């Protein structure tokens, strides 16, 4: 592969040759990885990029023999410092793990044992690798946590995982991975579950740390922008095969394989424009206004949805059971959504953006403030008035696996809203379902299928079709594309955009991903801790952010500053001073503990 003949003097730290991994399943053997080739040289960072199911994680964990029971390496070799470790004994690989090979797992929430103090889990890792014992190990654990960037490490070491925030847990796991000073650190999507600003800090820290220690990093990620920013060498995987590998910038600027080209075209952090041209958007708006003018409405030209001073206070359990402390999840938010446009609400987890969506959808009653639909206050709507409103405002939720009733066929799912509102007869409804499936680019044959037979992206498209069944005017997308792979996400975003142009829909788009906002939104609202910190047109927010918080969010978009042909870069000076989650005294803060609607918000 990339080993040139003149390089015989330099030996790669890790070399994977023609790796093939087969899983035994009930339907017969499945090859998870077909032919994977890659090399990691001492001290460098190599990133494996690919969508879910591409075999990137499988390749990485097979190095440390951590494949699930039904998976095995059926061909090829894994060489570590020139030694073949493909089929060595369990004892030998155990000696290698931790000591030579460090591992930072994907999900920080489930990879720390909740029953043990964080410090003792690191101490255990140290003892297992024979680095230190007893008091020395304890002392070392504190040092490692400090090194991983946890302030007040001594006290933190004595705390349990539930007292840590997500970012802090990931830092602890990095400390654990680096505890025995391995030569290679395998980081499997180390920051996918974290907010962008936290992700940036953690990756920055990981960079500096591995740089100082000279540790090579094998970074697994689905985010091409992130990979290009962090790694010198990229390996792109697709359906179990390596399709392209080479220097990061070169791949990004001149991709050769059609799959890589597709990935780069779809990556939201690298693409940079509103998906439809301004002129077309004008047309959409006019059409939507005309459409509205045809209806008996006084305020056809006003905003379709207006929120005025929305506030939501949740009572949370206080220090004693009978006393509750008020917690303001949303604090005095006002905004408006114009017909045929998209307004995005951006913020990190716990910023209250999903709560705003719930209130607009009338799934949650605001503590104070009003929601106006076409100028009328709908806050107090009940009964048939509410049912009529429901027809016109529809949601799309984040989790594609939870949003469809598993017992309902695709046909019944899309037909349900029409049945509920008594629209049309059986024939008419079927025709409408066919039409809707066509709109979301699914074959009509899917009608008879059930959600368990569909991929995440397909489910999300069905959810869109269901939301459109009642011809709504407003669609509230609560993190509607956040759980999808980049390519699928791009596909769904395009679909949403096309539908907006076709049907004159207005979107309220809730997301944590600023890169997506740039592709879809006309106006952007930035929320932080329940407060509105900035709002303006998307261009304004991206080009001249007024607030430090917005600037930090923008600077944290991975790959935003990489120059690419045909795209503008986001060049924002990140303000000094950490936005660190570590200032929070007790873990995640009250919002994460009590948010009763977390199922509609963040994963």
- Which residues in 356-375 contact other proteins (CB under 8 A)? 361, 363
Strand ranges, E, within 222-323? 233-238, 241-247, 305-317
User: Closer CB to other proteins, residue 117 or residue 461?
Assistant: 461
Confirm or reject binding of residue 533 to other proteins (CB under 8 A).
no
Separation of alpha carbons 180 and 178, rounded Å: 6
Q: Which of 121, 106, 125 is nearest to 192 (CA)?
A: 106
Q: Across the chain, how many H-helices and E-strands are there? A: 21, 20
The answer to whether residue 271 forms part of the interface with other proteins (CB under 8 A) is no
Using CB under 8 A as the binding rule, the residues of this chain from 18 to 47 that contact other proteins are 39, 41-45
- In this structure, the number of other CB atoms found within 10 A of the CB of residue 412 comes to 14
Window of 275-283, 384-392, 522-530, 583-591 that interacts with other proteins by CB under 8 A: 384-392
Could you say whether residue 48 binds other proteins (CB under 8 A)?
A: no
CA dihedral sign of residues 559, 560, 562, 563: positive
Strands 305-317 and 368-373: antiparallel
Cβ atoms of residues 318 and 324 within 8 Å: yes
- Choose, by CB under 8 A, the member of 296, 319, 452, 585 that binds other proteins: 452
The answer to whether 74 touches 244, Cβ cutoff 8 Å, is: no
Q: Which is nearer to other proteins, 19 or 172 (CB)?
A: 19
**Contact status: 381 vs other proteins (CB under 8 A):** no
Question: In what order do the strands lie in the sheet containing 368-373?
Answer: 324-337, 305-317, 368-373, 376-377
DSSP, collapsed to helix, strand or coil, labels residue 98 as coil
Bridge partners, 394 (sequence order): 475
Given candidates 151, 318, 375, 406, which one binds other proteins under the rule CB under 8 A? 406
Half-sphere exposure of 524 (CA within 13 A, CB side): 29
- Report d(CA 216, CA 42) in Å as an integer: 5
Consecutive H or E run containing 220: strand 216-221
Which residues inside 186-225 make contact with other proteins, applying CB under 8 A?
207-208, 211-212, 214
Residue with Cβ nearer other proteins (132 or 444): 444
Q: Which of residues 559-588 bind other proteins (CB under 8 A)?
A: 561
Which residues from 304-363 bind other proteins, rule CB under 8 A?
361, 363
Contact 141, 119 (CB under 8 A): yes
Q: What is the DSSP letter of 599?
A: G
Contact pick of 172, 488, 510, 553 for other proteins (by CB under 8 A): 488
Nearer CB in complex with other proteins: 136/386: 386
Report the residue number, 262 or 434, with the smaller CB distance to other proteins: 262
Q: Which is nearer to other proteins, 350 or 560 (CB)?
A: 560
* Distant-in-sequence contacts of 538-544, Cβ < 8 A, 24+ apart: 538/274, 538/344, 542/518, 542/570
With binding defined as CB under 8 A, does residue 155 bind other proteins? no
Range 415-434, binding other proteins (CB under 8 A):
416-417, 420-421
Least distance in Å: CB of 100 to other proteins? 17
CB atoms within 10 A of CB 417: 19
Question: Of 58, 355, 394, 535, which lies in the binding site for other proteins, with binding defined by CB under 8 A?
Answer: 394
Q: Is 54 in the site for other proteins (CB under 8 A)?
A: no
Q: Which of 129, 341, 399, 500 binds other proteins (CB under 8 A)?
A: 399
Question: In this complex, which beta carbon is closest to other proteins, that of residue 31 or of residue 94?
Answer: 31
Q: Which of residues 69-128 bind other proteins (CB under 8 A)?
A: none
Measured from the CB of residue 396, what is the shortest distance to other proteins in angstroms? Answer: 8
Q: To the nearest whole angstrom, how small is the minimum distance from the Cβ of residue 152 to other proteins?
A: 26
| C-alpha span between 553 and 512 (Å, rounded) | 10
397, 509, 542, 549: residue in contact with other proteins (rule CB under 8 A): 397
User: How many other C-beta atoms lie within 10 A of the C-beta of residue 248?
Assistant: 22
CB of 455 to other proteins, least distance (A): 6
Please tell me the count of residues contacting other proteins according to CB under 8 A. 85
Q: Considering only residues 489 through 508, tell me which ones interact with other proteins, judged by CB under 8 A.
A: 490-491
What angle is formed at CA 338 by the lines to CA 312 and CA 525, rounded to 5 degrees? 50
Per CB under 8 A, 238 contacts other proteins: yes
282 binds other proteins (CB under 8 A): no
Q: Which of 17, 205, 308, 449 is the binder for other proteins (CB under 8 A)?
A: 449
Sheet holding 523-528, edge to edge: 393-396, 474-478, 506-511, 342-346, 523-528, 531-537
CB of 221 to other proteins, least distance (A): 15
- Interacting positions 241-260 with other proteins (CB under 8 A): 241-247, 250-251, 256-259
- In the complex with other proteins, which residue's Cβ is closer, 164 or 314? 314
User: Greatest CA separation found in the chain?
Assistant: 80
């Amino acid at each position: 592969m990339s080993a040139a003949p003149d390089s015989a003097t330099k030996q790669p730290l890790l070399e994977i040759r023609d790796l093939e991994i087969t899983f035994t399943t009930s339907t017969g053997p499945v090859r998870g990885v077909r032919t994977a080739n890659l090399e990691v040289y001492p001290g460098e960072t190599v990133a494996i990029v690919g969508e879910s199911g591409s075999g990137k994680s499988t390749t990485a964990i097979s190095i440390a023999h951590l494949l699930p029971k039904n998976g095995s390496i059926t061909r090829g070799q894994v060489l570590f410092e020139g030694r073949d470790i493909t089929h060595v004994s369990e004892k030998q690989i155990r000696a290698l793990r931790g000591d030579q090979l460090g591992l930072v797992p994907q999900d920080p929430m489930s990879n720390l044992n909740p029953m043990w103090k964080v410090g003792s889990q690191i101490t255990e890792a140290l003892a297992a690798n024979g680095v230190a014992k007893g008091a020395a190990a304890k002392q070392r654990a504190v040092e490692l946590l400090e090194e991983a960037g946890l302030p007040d490490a001594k006290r933190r070491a004595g705390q349990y995982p539930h007292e840590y925030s997500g970012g802090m847990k990931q830092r602890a796991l990095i400390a654990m991975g680096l505890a025995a000073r391995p030569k290679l650190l395998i980081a499997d999507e180390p920051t996918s579950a974290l907010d962008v600003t936290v992700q940036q800090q953690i990756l920055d820290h990981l960079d500096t740390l591995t740089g100082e220690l000279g540790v090579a990093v094998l970074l697994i990620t689905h985010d091409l922008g992130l990979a290009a920013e962090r790694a010198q060498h990229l390996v792109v995987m697709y359906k179990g095969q390596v399709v392209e590998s080479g220097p990061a910038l070169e791949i990004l600027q001149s991709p050769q394989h059609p799959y890589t080209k597709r990935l780069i075209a779809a990556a939201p952090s690298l693409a940079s424009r509103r998906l439809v041209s301004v002129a077309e958007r004008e047309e959409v708006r006019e059409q939507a206004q005309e459409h509205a003018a045809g209806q008996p409405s006084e305020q056809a030209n006003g905003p379709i949805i207006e929120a005025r001073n929305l506030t939501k206070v949740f009572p949370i359990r206080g220090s004693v059971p009978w006393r509750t402390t008020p917690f303001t999840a949303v604090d005095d938010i006002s905004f408006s959504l114009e017909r045929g446009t998209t307004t995005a609400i951006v913020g990190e987890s716990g910023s209250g953006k999903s709560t705003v969506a719930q209130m607009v959808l009338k799934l949650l009653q605001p503590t104070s403030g009003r929601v106006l639909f076409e100028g009328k206050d709908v806050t107090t709507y009940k009964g048939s008035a509410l049912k009529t409103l429901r027809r016109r405002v529809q949601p799309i939720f984040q989790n594609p696996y939870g949003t469809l009733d598993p017992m309902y066929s695709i046909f019944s799912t899309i037909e349900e809203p029409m049945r509920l509102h008594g629209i049309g007869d059986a024939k008419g409804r079927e025709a409408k379902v066919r039409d809707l499936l066509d709109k979301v680019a699914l074959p009509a044959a899917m009608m008879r299928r059930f959600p368990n037979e569909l991929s995440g992206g397909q489910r999300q498209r069905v959810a869109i079709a269901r939301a459109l069944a009642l011809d709504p005017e407003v669609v509230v997308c609560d993190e509607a594309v956040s759980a999808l792979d980049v390519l699928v996400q791009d596909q769904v975003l395009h679909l949403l955009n096309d539908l907006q142009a076709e049907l004159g829909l207005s979107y309220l788009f809730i997301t944590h991903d600023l890169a997506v906002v740039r592709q879809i939104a006309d106006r952007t609202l930035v929320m932080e801790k329940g407060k509105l910190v900035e709002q303006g047109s998307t261009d304004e927010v991206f080009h001249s952010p007024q607030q430090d918080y917005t600037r930090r969010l923008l600077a944290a978009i991975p790959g935003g500053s990489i120059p690419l042909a045909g795209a503008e870069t986001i060049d924002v000076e990140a303000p000094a001073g950490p936005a660190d989650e570590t200032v929070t005294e007790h873990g995640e803060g009250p919002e994460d503990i009590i948010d009763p609607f977390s199922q509609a918000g963040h994963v």
